[in-house]
Structure 1
Amino acid sequence: MSSMSRPGASQPDDDTPMNSITASARSVTQPGTRARSRLRAPGARTWLAAGQWLVTLLLCAFLIVPVIMSIMAGLTVNYFKGVSSGLTLRWLIEVWTQYHGSVWLSLEVAAATLVITLLTGVPAGYVLARSRTRLSRIIEEFLVLPIALPGLASALALLVIYGGFTRLRMSAAFIVVGHVVFTLPFMVRAVAAVCASSDLRTLEEGAASLGASFFTRFVTIVLPNARPGIVAGALAVLTLSIGEFNLTWMLHTPETKTLPVGLADTYASLRIEIGSAYTILFFIMTMPLLVAMQWLGVDATGQRGAAAKRGNASAAKRVANDVKTDVAINAAYPATNTSARPSSNSVDTP
């Protein structure tokens, strides 16, 4: 009886070797399990991202392949034979010989349009940003109206009103008038957006309290803060003026052909190589402006833009504090006791 174990007594662990084998087997299979967990099927988010990339690449190919084919057509001897016919600059030279006048005219029209939109659009954008009345919103909607209308409709309206002035109608200035009507909203909107996002009112009030005139405030405060909008609007005006076709086609004369009108003429010549070479010339003129616009857009939303905005906000706060300090000093020290009056720089502002 003494050799028999009681029910509640602990039994010796006779299967210790078996437990060690099982533990070692588990330790061997665990790395494989981790590897299989890492190689599991991608989730719905991964498939969605892959689908987005695929659609984006297909869309880019859909847009870029025709451009590449057009450029190749302007550099090959025969478009229908392809690159096997040889590469040449003959078509580019021929286009430049026949249409270089259109190139210079387009640049002159774009430059004149830019000057007029700067002189009128920057003050208009500033006033619309400062004013919060219903009248300013109505004026802004009327300024944007030429964008909503087709270019042919705007050109027809200009012909009805100003077509009777023969000298104006036959000159390139008539095209400039049409381009200003079409591009002015882009300058006004760009400047107004920047002025509305900056705390110009506080800066101007601080400068006015220190005796600065309106012209001084506009030159030293408004223009530097509105510079990103001015540059963006200027690039947009140049690009749109050089590439505008519908309005220009209605307003041009045989002596005032711009780049887009000449491009239409070259494709009407039934020689696709000449039209493609003209397209290359058009790209050479417009691509630097498009690259500059893209660079400006990235910079405006990047760190430098955010740092500039923070700097403007801190400057506005400093000016406001200085104004409060001057008011407090004037209240504490009347004008009759100027000897004991401290300067605003010597007073700590909160």
Structure 2
Amino acid sequence: MRDRLIFAGQLGFTLLVAAFLVVPVVLSISAGVTVNYFRGIQSGVTLQWVVQVWNLYAGEIGLSFLIAFATLAVTLIVGVPAAYGLHVKGGRLSRVIEEIITLPLAIPGLAIALALLLTYGGFGGFRQSWLFILTGHVVFTMPFMVRSVMAVFASVDIKTLDEGAASLGASPWTRFCNVIVPNAMPGILAGSLMVVTLSLGEFNLTWMLHTPLTKTLPVGLADSYASMRLEVASAYTLIFFIMIVPLLVAMQMFAEKGEKK
């Protein structure tokens, strides 16, 4: 009896927290398909606001996904070898480098953006391109990839596996592709999920780095809330969820399958 009461209490609390988080999202999304938000659902249901948002912000949506997957590519190419090198070398210098890599986690996005502007803002072409935002996203998300991969390396005797492959005559590149990467796959998948999620939703850093021609999803969403009807802004939120939630679910399922293997 006591266990049932405890379970019922835990379930009730979980459902209450879930409702507290989900209900505002549902109300915001429903406003995007309502003819007039202030009159409520009785004013009718329409997709005109969704169509209007797509016509106005299709470029921002495409740019966000381009930057997110470019960020993922850079963090994979740089982060995985860096994590392996830091784990294998060890020592005080490796720990110092690791702390430097993870430093952006403790620094506000606005401060990172300001540092990038002061350092590279004078390069006009670079400053006005989406590559400038990509640089900020890489700096911001790299710690998540490195830490995720290093956590896996800490649970696997990767150094012994690498030395065993080397004793059999495998080249460094072969060992990295056939030994290191497969063993690091759970961390790589977890890091990839975090990198894409953070890049798509990052606002503070992107808001400082963007130009009128390089707006991303979160920046466009903020602009729509500030300058347009509430229905249009809510329709933007609806499109945001339609495009991002399936992607994140698919990546999560892929990550779980990778961990089982």
- Category of TM-score, reference length = shorter chain: over 0.9
Q: Distance in 2 between matches of 1:144 and 1:288?
A: 29
Find runs of 4+ consecutive structure 1 residues off by over 4 angstroms. Answer: 296-301
Q: 1:210 to 1:297 in 2, by over 3 A?
A: closer
2:224 is the alignment partner of 1:266: yes
Asked which structure has the greater CA Rg, the reply is 1
Aligned residues: 261
Q: 1:233 to 1:137 in 2, by over 3 A?
A: same
Larger relative contact order (C-alpha < 8 A, sep ≥ 6)? 2
State the percentage of identical aligned residues: 61
Q: Give the aligned partner of residue 77 of structure 2.
A: 119
Q: Of residues 207, 220, 231 in structure 1, which corresponds to 2:189? A: 231
Does the CA-based 8 Å contact 1:130-1:196 persist in structure 2?
A: no
Q: Give the aligned partner of residue 113 of structure 2.
A: 155
Does the CA-based 8 Å contact 2:60-2:220 persist in structure 1?
A: yes
2:151 is the alignment partner of 1:193: yes
The Cα of 1:249 is off from its aligned counterpart by: 0.2
- AA in 2 matched with 1:267: Y
TM norm structure 2: 0.94
Q: Distance in 1 between matches of 2:65 and 2:5?
A: 48
Q: Distance in 1 between matches of 2:43 and 2:26?
A: 17
Extract unaligned runs of 5+ from structure 1: 1-41, 309-350
Extract unaligned runs of 5+ from structure 2: none
Q: Distance in 2 between matches of 1:238 and 1:130?
A: 27
Secondary structure of the structure 1 residue equivalent to 2:32? helix
Which is helix-richer, 1 or 2? 2
Q: Distance in 1 between matches of 2:108 and 2:24?
A: 26
The Cα of 1:48 is off from its aligned counterpart by: 3.0
Does the CA-based 8 Å contact 1:236-1:293 persist in structure 2?
A: no
Does the CA-based 8 Å contact 2:185-2:258 persist in structure 1?
A: no
TM norm structure 1: 0.71
Q: Deviations over 1:296-326 (max 9, x none)?
A: 565577xx3xxx5xxxxxxxxxxxxxxxxxx
- AA in 1 matched with 2:173: F
Q: Give the aligned partner of residue 55 of structure 2.
A: 97
Q: Distance in 2 between matches of 1:53 and 1:107?
A: 37
Q: Distance in 1 between matches of 2:125 and 2:172?
A: 39
Structure 2 counterparts to residues 41-56 of structure 1, below 5 A: 42-43=1-2, 45-56=3-14
Q: Distance in 2 between matches of 1:89 and 1:122?
A: 44
Does the CA-based 8 Å contact 2:61-2:217 persist in structure 1?
A: yes
The Cα of 1:267 is off from its aligned counterpart by: 0.3
Q: Distance in 2 between matches of 1:245 and 1:251?
A: 10
Q: Give the aligned partner of residue 124 of structure 2.
A: 166
Q: 1:102 to 1:270 in 2, by over 3 A?
A: closer
2:140 is the alignment partner of 1:182: yes
Secondary structure of the structure 2 residue equivalent to 1:277? helix
The Cα of 1:110 is off from its aligned counterpart by: 1.4
Does the CA-based 8 Å contact 2:193-2:252 persist in structure 1?
A: no
Q: Deviations over 1:149-176 (max 9, x none)?
A: 1111110111111111111111111101
- AA in 1 matched with 2:179: I
The Cα of 1:111 is off from its aligned counterpart by: 2.1
